[in-house]
Amino acid sequence: MRAVATALYTPAPCAEELASAGLRPEDFSPQPLEIWPDIWPSFLVMRAMSTQWRTGMAGPTGLDYGCSRIN
């Protein structure tokens, strides 16, 4: 599951990063990632909640649900 989360949240290299290695964006092809059937439901939940993760220097660390009080 860590490999899936890493692949989901790691951005592709930008054109400048590729150029520094002598590559072009069309030379870059991300590696396919196999998601096992037993973790598929967990992956779907993680992907659906992608905008709710609290992140820090260590990456995603928990869910961020602010609450609002209705008077």
Q: Which residues contact 27 (CB under 8 A, 6 or more apart)?
A: 18
Q: Where are the domains of the chain?
A: 2-63
Q: What is the pLDDT of residue 66?
A: 67
Predicted confidence (pLDDT) at residue 21 exceeds the cutoff of 70? yes
Mean pLDDT score, 1-16: 79
Average the pLDDT over 26-50 and give the result: 82
47 neighbors 8 (Cβ within 8 angstroms): yes
pLDDT (0 to 100) of residue 38: 93
Q: What is the pTM of this model?
A: 0.49
